Structure 1
Amino acid sequence: MAVKSMNDLFLRTLKDIYYAEKQIYKNLPKMAKSAGSKDLKQAFEKHREETKQQIERLETIFEQCGAAARAIRCEAMDGILAEAKEVMEEIEDGQVHDAGILAAAQTVEHYEISRYGTLIAWADQLGMKDASKLLKETLDEEKKTDQLLSQLAVANINQQAG
């Protein structure tokens, strides 16, 4: 896709995060199954439900833009998820394992927070009020998930791994 305008750049980035969300949705059950901590497992399961809604919001934004909901490969998310898979496969100690997959999950969240913040700024610039509102809902969820993961890390998971 040739990017010739801010609208093109917005759509390209929307396709990127759409791919990322679909990959996250696909991988969260593996991460939940891999988690030893009940709280971490529940956080992954809850975020999977949110991710499903986030995908639906993105599809609504594509509709609003008159574009097909199509994903383009997000190499960054592929790399982040490959690292998470390595952690799940290579770390045998249960508590260290949980600290590792929690850190990988936060890397995912930070990528999403960055992408959604950018998309909101561009949607606002382009006068896409409805899209901006939907993107803000998702950004708020991503920030809450990141905060929950931080709380889990500090409250017990990292200490148990120590």
Structure 2
Amino acid sequence: MAKEKTLEDLFHDTLKDIYYAERKILKALPKMKRAAQSDELKAAFDKHHQETQGQIERLQQVFEIMGKRAQGKTCDAIEGIISEGEEIMDEFKGTAALDAGLISSAQAVEHYEITRYGTLKRWATELGMTDAADLLDQTLQEESKTDGDLTKLADSSANARAKSKKAA
């Protein structure tokens, strides 16, 4: 008979999923930065790249707290979100709408991460892993702030520019 799966098993499985996702995002961000037209968006992708490195380190600490090796597990969700972002880069290259499309792709990534980190933080708390919950909460706060910053960027310039016929 199969071993009964527990919340701790689910936590570990989801941790591997987001670890894979973060490492995939780390590789995608420089490409998004190169594609971005506005300096503000390039800077936002740079900042997120640096933050993602710190988030990966925090995840490694959570694995350590669990006494497990840090390892990823293919995350189909992030593969799909990044693939959609690549389609936008190809289909809207050189157009006024590119930055708005890149922001929407980046926000799809953020929303996925916010969902995962929110869940992991709640489970860590439920499992009595307060140190892990604190680490996950730090990342959750960063992801939420990045999402807000991207919204501001979209509202302040990218969406309006996307309506015009001229690229930045």
Instruction: List alignment gaps of at least 5 residues for structure 1.
Output: none
In structure 1, the residue matched to 2:110 is 109
Cα deviation for residue 123 of structure 1 reads 0.3
In structure 1, the residue matched to 2:46 is 45
Q: Per-residue CA shift, 1:4-25, capped at 9, x if unaligned? A: 1000000000000000000000
In structure 2, the residue matched to 1:127 is 128
Cα deviation for residue 92 of structure 1 reads 3.0
Separation of aligned partners in 2, 1:159 and 1:12: 41
Alignment of 1:74-89 (within 5 A): 74-89=75-90
User: CA RMSD for the aligned pairs?
Assistant: 1.0
Separation of aligned partners in 1, 2:93 and 2:118: 36
In structure 2, the residue matched to 1:64 is 65
Alignment of 1:136-151 (within 5 A): 136-151=137-152
In structure 1, the residue matched to 2:166 is none
Cα deviation for residue 90 of structure 1 reads 1.1
In structure 2, the residue matched to 1:23 is 24
Separation of aligned partners in 2, 1:123 and 1:101: 33
- Give the aligned residue type for 2:116: R
Are residue 157 (structure 1) and residue 158 (structure 2) matched?
yes
Please identify runs of 4+ aligned residues in structure 1 that moved more than 2 A: 92-95
Separation of aligned partners in 2, 1:45 and 1:3: 43
Amino-acid identity (%): 52
Cα deviation for residue 33 of structure 1 reads 0.5
**8 Å Cα contact 1:3/1:9 also seen in 2:** no
Paired residues in the alignment total 161
- Give the aligned residue type for 1:145: T
Q: Over alpha carbons, which structure has the higher Rg?
A: 2
- Give the aligned residue type for 1:99: A
Separation of aligned partners in 2, 1:155 and 1:101: 15
TM-score by length of 1: 0.97
Q: Per-residue CA shift, 1:13-60, capped at 9, x if unaligned? A: 000000000000000000001000100000000000000000000000
The secondary structure found in structure 1 opposite 2:97 is: helix
Separation of aligned partners in 2, 1:126 and 1:142: 23
The secondary structure found in structure 2 opposite 1:94 is: coil
